[in-house]
Amino acid sequence: MTFEIKRDAMAQHIIPRWGWDEDQQLQIHRKHFDAKPFFRIDLEGRCVGVVSVFATSDYVRLGEFYLLGDFRGKGLGTRILRHCLSGADELGLPVRLEYLKWNPVGHLYLRYGFSVISENDIHYFLERPIGSVAGEAVDPV
């Protein structure tokens, strides 16, 4: 189920640049799925998304955060993000993540205090300081 959710969320951002090789994408997904913890996002008894979140000694890593299309743009992702940020604040740790440069989800992260700390040709790498207040960041694009 996690791969189907990823495909639903990410294919629109991947296909225009690289196409979609189902076997290759499944292999990449399995590698990521085996390397870090994933959590189901259930709403009214239905799995509507997945998120990977875990703490290291230096930061909380938020990644692989996908919602099915019918549940995007309705505030669910924001609620989950707020929950993760609250947990990181309780741990006294900043939060790090990355996203594809052309994925509009970056605007959500920037509204919640993340700022770009580095980038490559494909990704922005962001960090949110401990207890950062929404509205402090500036859009990198």
Looking at residue 60, which CATH number applies to its domain?
3.40.630.30
Give domain status of residue 133, yes or no: no
Number of domain units in the chain = 1
The yes-or-no verdict on residue 30 having pLDDT over 90 is no
The tens digit of pLDDT for each residue in 63-103 reads 889 999 999 989 999 999 999 999 999 999 999 999 999 99
List phi, psi (to 5°) of 41: -110, 110
Task: With residue 81 as reference, give the H or E element that holds it.
Answer: helix 76-91
Q: pTM for this structure?
A: 0.83
Q: Over range 39-61, report the average pLDDT.
A: 94
Whether 140 is covered by a domain: the verdict is no
Q: SS3 of 92, please? A: coil
Would 122 be classed as within a structural domain?
yes
Domain-embedded: residue 84: yes
Domain with 90 in it: 2-128
Asked whether residue 139 is domain-assigned, the answer is no
Q: Residue 133: which residues within 8 A CB-CB, separation 6 or more? A: 113
Whether residue 134 lies inside any domain: the answer is no
